[in-house]
Each structure stands twice: as C-alpha cells, then as structure tokens.
Amino acid sequence: MGAFETPESCRKWKEEFELACPVIPDAEGTLFRQLTNGWVPCNILVGRDGKVLFSENEFDDAGYSTAIAGLYSAPAKAQPEPESGERPIRRASPSAAARIVILGAGVGGVVAAHHLRQRLPRQHRIIVIDRSSDHLFSPSLLWLMVGNRRADQIRRPLTRLAGNGIEFHHDEVAAIDLDRRLVRTRSNAFSFDYLIVSLGARLAPETVEGFDEMAHNLYSLEGCERIRAALETFPGGTIAVLVAALPFKCPAAPYEAAFLVEALCRTKHIRDKTEIHIFTPEHQPMPIAGSAMGDAITAMIHARGIHYHPLYTFQELRPDTREIVSSDGRSERVDLLLGVPPHQAPEVVRSAGLLGVSGWIHVDATTLRAGHDGVFAIGDVTSIRLPGGKMLPKAGVFAHHQAEVVADVIASEIRGTESRASFNGKGYCWIELGDGKAGFASGRFYAEPDPEVRMFHPGRFWHWGKVAFEKWWLRHWL
C-alpha cells in the first residue's frame, strides 16, 4: 500500500525494489489512517490458508521476523492471544497470609496498594517497591514547566504509605523470577503469591544521539525545570516540541506544552518574536480518539499561530547547529527544543520474559492478567489491542482504573470468592490550553468498531476541574 501515492509512483516503487507483491495507491490516505498510528504500521501477515498469523501496530522487528520464519518451518498457527479472563481462578484459604508485591509506585501502583489494603485483613502483606522515594504527580509537570508549580507542590514521600498498612521499599528492581516467584532488588529479595507489574514506560533519551545536549525532556521533572529556566530568559526565537517516536504516554502532553508555551510568550510580550512548532509522527493529534478530536485540536493549534508538522519522520539531532533532521534530509533550526524521548519497557521486564512482540506486556483486556499464575500488569508497561486493531493509549487514567480491577480480582481470589470487576476501557483527560482554560475529553475506548470519544467545549471550568483533581489526588492517596 502506498500512502498518499499515485498509481504511477507505486508502479515505480515496485519496479525499483523488484517486488512480486502488488503495491496499490492510497492517494487520500484513507487506508493509511485506518491501519497506522502515525508512521507505525499495522503489519498483517497472512498464511497460505488465508488466516491471519500475526498482526501488530506497535511494530517489533523481531516478532515480525519470527512470524515470517514460522511460515517456512512449521504449519501455520494463529498468533496467540493474551490469556483469557475466563480461566479458572486460583483458590486460597481466607486465613492464609498472602504476599502481594507491587512493582512501581506511580498511579497504578499506589491505587492498587490502597484498594488491596481496604479489601484484605492485615495478615496479608502488601509490598510496594519503587526506585524513587517520592510519588510525582506527572500531569502537573506542564504547569511546573511554565512556572505555575514548584517541585515540592507536586510530589509526596512514599513513606506515607506505611500509615495505611502498606510496606514501602525504596529500592530498584533488579530481576523478576517468575518460576521461583521471586523479585530481587539491589539490596533484598521478595517472594510473592501475587505480583502486579506497574513499572511504567522507561524514558530512553540516550537512544537519540545528542538528545541530552540539545533537548529538554518534557516528561521528566529535571527536564521541565530546565525548560522553565530557559523560558524565564528566552528573548524570542524558535521553540519546537518534538515527538521522537511512537508510542508515548499522555497523548495530549506535547500539544498542551505548545499551548502553554504560546500563552506564556504572549504574557512575556515576546510572541511576535517567537515561532512555535510541533513535530510529530502522528497523522493528527491523539489519533486513537478519532478524527473529530484530531480536527478540533488541529484547529486550536492553527488558531494560535503554532506551526504543525504531522507525519514527521524524525531522523537525528545536530546539536552543533541546533537542527532537527527528518528522514528525507530536511532540517529545521530551533533555539529551544522540548523533546518527547522514545519510550521503552524497563529492561527488568524484558529479561523476565514478560514482553510480547509489541515490546510491551500483553495482558488480558478485562482482567489485566499477564499470562502467568498470579501475575498482573497495569498502566504504561502494557499493550492492549482495541477492537479496531490499534492499541489503548498509555495514560494515567487507565492505570488508575486497571489498578482497581486488579485489586478486586486478587482480593476475591484470596477470599475464595468470584470477582465481577472488569476493566471497560473508559477514560478521560484534560487538555490544557493556556490562559487559564482547558478542554476535557472522555469516552469508551473499547467501543466497536472504534473508540467513541467526546470533547467538551473548552473553558475555565475544565482548567479549575484539573486543579481540583490535582489537589484531591495528592491528599487522598498520599
């Protein structure tokens, strides 16, 4: 399929690469938008019998190559799906003391720990392990970036979990031994009856040469503090928001960053001396939410005079000349670069053998089981295929609701009862627009054939709603 190509260009491309398969034009990009997430393709491998052997649109070369090799080495077999939530549950004596280990104290880990503690007697141990001593409320990093928050206002010490009967260990997870049902950290080892993997997506700026020299990491506390410092003395010039690769968490964040920076430049009276650009491989903002949402955000981008570059295939950074370069060789010079680095699953999850061909943990869509007895995964470290073939976005709201479901499932198994909890794919998010205004969107991501998402009219009400949510979250959970 040739996206946005003509019949003639497809013919030349087929001849140049001596392809035996047909190459068909998709001049308007209709099929492209149906079968991709930005430039990340939905790769579909069909066997000799016409059945789909493999499909994935968070592409992993090793997984696809393995599937192709299987065509020649074994009879065609369909790609296995994650373990069904209908499997018989494991029964445990209600009086037995269970050990539940939660890896990661982000949104999902904290919520899961609290809900488990509420549902289970104190003889059952709930153990949370995180490499950080603090919980950081990540949605507020954008406010910190433009000087509306301080670091101490958006983080809380995780030692506060102890006051609720939850054990917290400030340590780094070194290994997960599924056979021995053991988690090893840098200084200890923890056996488990149940394991919840909530380690999130690892930011990998080191995979982009020159990132640390030229870009400020939009998704880290340190990076946002550096952006704030740079903006305080910025005299005007070119500011760019660059999404280096897909997938990335918090799909609205790059657009929110551009809106907030644009508003700040007006406040500082340097807007007429400043160009703001967004470079992203997505074909529209938040593509999984549908064309109506994408069109609405695109209209807001253009209304604010922000230069928008969708379908941007990033190639490299040139720190010496402060240029970002696309795969076709075009370069853009920028004075201040806000970067969204590539995201990866943590190496400890990979070495444990928990990852699927997508490079993330494949889980059952409703129970979040990860294919091993008593093992669950929630949040950004997971990959959940939606009915239309694309993947559930990586966002804190989903980690929150998944944590509630997993806590109910585990507590029910320990009590020897059936759980009716099921993750339904519903979610919502705020979209900060600057000037004290925000948008709000919510929807059903498990709807068929595609997610059903509605965006409400932007205004000050939604901005103050997000402020209230921030205050509630930090007070309620920590």
Q: What is the pLDDT of residues 101-142, one digit of tens each?
A: 999 999 999 999 999 999 999 999 999 999 999 999 999 999
Helix count (H) and strand count (E) of the chain?
12, 31
Residue tagged 């209600």 (tokens) = 94
Distance CA 247, CA 90 (A): 34
Could you report the per-residue pLDDT of 68-95, keeping only the tens digit for each?
666 666 544 444 445 544 444 444 454 4
pLDDT at 25: 82
pTM score of the predicted model = 0.86
Average pLDDT, stretch 230-244? 97
Residue tagged 């551009």 (tokens) = 258
Contact by Cβ (8 Å): 100, 116: yes
For 204-289+310-340, CATH gives 3.50.50.60
Q: Compute the chain's Rg from CA coordinates.
A: 23
38 pLDDT more than 60: no
pLDDT at 74: 52
* Residue predicted with more confidence, 43 or 121: 121
166 pLDDT more than 50: yes
Domain 99-201+345-425 and domain 204-289+310-340, same fold? Reply is: yes
Q: Please, what CATH class does the domain formed by 99-201+345-425 belong to?
A: alpha beta
Question: What is the band of 39 on the pLDDT scale with cuts at 50, 70, 90?
Answer: very low
pLDDT at 217: 98
Q: Cis (ω within 30 of 0) for the bond into 205?
A: no
Q: Give the start-to-end residue ranges of the domains of the chain.
A: 2-73, 99-201+345-425, 204-289+310-340
Average pLDDT score over the chain: 89
